[in-house]
Chain A
Amino acid sequence: MSTPRPWAGIGDALARVGAHGLFLLQILAALPASLRHYRETVRQIWFTGAMSLVIIMTCGLFVGMVLGLQLYYVLSIFGGTAALGTVVSLSLYRELGPVVTALLFAGRAGTSITAEIGLMRATDQLAAMEMMAVDPLAYVAAPRFIAGVVAMPLLACVFNALGIFGAHLVGVSWLGLDNGTFWSNMTSSVDVWKDVVNGVWKSVVFGAVVALIAVFQGYTTAPTSEGVAYATTRTVVFSSIVVLAVDFVMTAFLM
C-alpha cells in the first residue's frame, strides 16, 4: 500500500490466470472419476440450466424485440428493411446470443455455484467429503463444470430462437414487414456452419469459462461470510471480463 507498483498488479493477474489454468487441469483430471457421479451432473444441469430458462427466455424475447425496432429504424434509412431478418439473426447467432447468455448465466447460475461451493467450504462439507474418501473435485467441482459447458450452448440456442421470434413479432406483426421477405432474406444469407454452429462453439467456450471461474471462486473462497460474498462478486466481474475478451479473440481469429 506504500507506493503504486504497476508490476505487482500484472504479477497478480498472471498468478490468477495461472491458478485458474491449474484448477482447470485438476477438474479435467477428475472428469473420469466424476462419471461415477453422473446423477450429480444431471442435478446440476437442472439447477444451472433448466432453472435459468425463464430469465434466458424473457431476455431473449426482449433483446429480439429491441433489435427488431432498432435495426428496422436503421435499415429504413437505407431502404433495406427487407434485410431485417438477416441482420437480426446474424447479430444474434454470431454475437449477442452467446455473449448475452453468458453474462446472464454468470449472474444467474455462476453466482449460485460460487455461493454454494463457498458455503460448503466454510462449513467443512468439502473437508467432510475428503474424509469420506470422496474427491470434492469429482463430486462437487466437475459436475458443475460439465453442467455449465452443456447448459450454456443450449441456453444460447433458446435465447436465439426467442430473439428471432421477438424480432419477427416486432418487424412483421407490428411494423408490417412482409413475412416471406423476412424469412427468405434470412434463410438465403445465414449459413449453418459459419453462423449457427460457430455461435454454438462460442457459447461452449463461454460455458467453460463461466463455470470454471464460478467453481474456482467457490472452491478457493475464504471460509467466512465475507469471503463468500467477495467470491460471488468476483465470479460476476471476472466472468464478464473474460467472456468479452475471449469473445473478441474468437471473433477475430475463428470466425
Chain B
Amino acid sequence: MAQRRSYQIGSGLFILLGFAALAYLATQTTSIANFSQGPSYLLKARFTNVGQLKLRAPVKIAGVRIGSVESIEVDPQRLDAKVTLSVDRRFRDIPDDSSAAIFTSGLLGDQYIGIQPGGSPDMFKDGDEFVLTQSSMQLEDLIGKFLVNGSPASKPAANDEPAAQAQPASPPKKS
C-alpha cells in the first residue's frame, strides 16, 4: 500500500514537472512573453509597404522593446498600410515629431518597428499618428532602383528614403 502511494506521488510530481516545462516554454519563450503586462496606449503609423511585419512584432526605441504591433490593415481610400502600435504607458514621453521605421533584425531576422525620437516639446497622445514613417526596405525595390536609377519607387522622399535621411532637419508640423 505504501508502495502504491509513493508511485502516485512520484507520478504526480512527474506530471507537474511536465506541465511546468510546458508553461515555461509557452509563456517565456514565445510571443506571449511580449504581451506588455502594464497599461499601454495606441499610436498609428502609415507605411506604403510593411514587408514581412507581423502582428505582435516588437516596437523598439534605441533597440529596446517598448511595445508591440497591435494591428495591420489597409486603408481603403489611401491604399496604404495602417499599423497600430501598442506602447507601454511607461514610455509616455515620446516627442510627436518622432519617426517610425520598419527594420530587420540582422540579415535574416524578423522585422520590427524602430522609433527615432524627435526634438519636439509636445509628446504623443493616445491615438496620435506618426507623420514621418519609413517603409520596410524591399530587396527587389533596392535592386530595381539600382538598375533603373530610381524612377518607379521614389515618390515622396519622406516615405521611402533610408533611415539617415528620415531624420528631419526641421520638424514639420503635424496635420
- Please list the residues of chain A having a beta carbon within 8 angstroms of any beta carbon in chain B: 39, 42-43, 45-46, 49-50, 53, 75, 78-83, 85-86, 89, 93, 150-151, 153-155, 157-158, 160-161, 164, 183-192, 195-197, 200
Contacts and interface: CB of A to CB of B under 8 A. Distances in A.
A190 B11 CA distance: 30
Contact of B110 (A46, A49, A79, A189): A189
B29 A150 contact: no
Contacts of B17: 53, 154, 158
B18 A185 contact: no
A232 B159 CA distance: 67
Contact of A155 (B8, B18, B31): B18
Interface string B85-110: 00000000000000000000111111
21 contacts: A39-B8, A45-B11, A46-B10, A49-B11, A49-B15, A50-B13, A79-B107, A80-B109, A82-B105, A83-B109, A86-B110, A154-B21, A154-B22, A160-B25, A161-B25, A183-B29, A188-B57, A189-B31, A190-B30, A190-B31, A192-B31
Interface in B1-50: 4, 7-8, 10-11, 13-15, 17-19, 21-22, 24-26, 28-34
Given A45-B11, A82-B109, A83-B109, A191 B25 contact: no
A80 B107 contact: yes
A55 to B, nearest CB: 14
A157 B109 CA distance: 25
Contacts, number: 116
Contacts of A153: 18, 22
B105 A50 contact: no
Given A46-B11, A154-B14, A185-B109, A192 B26 contact: yes
A188 B31 contact: yes
- Lowest 8 A-B CB distances belong to which pairs? A154-B18, A50-B14, A157-B21, A157-B22, A161-B21, A187-B33, A45-B11, A190-B30
Interface of B: 4, 7-8, 10-11, 13-15, 17-19, 21-22, 24-26, 28-34, 56-58, 65, 105-110, 112
B18 A188 contact: no
A191 B32 CA distance: 8
A188 B15 contact: no
Given A187-B34, A188-B31, A188-B58, A161 B26 contact: no
B107 A78 contact: yes
Nearest to B18: A154
A155 B17 CA distance: 9
A189 B112 CA distance: 11
Contacts of A43: 4, 7, 11
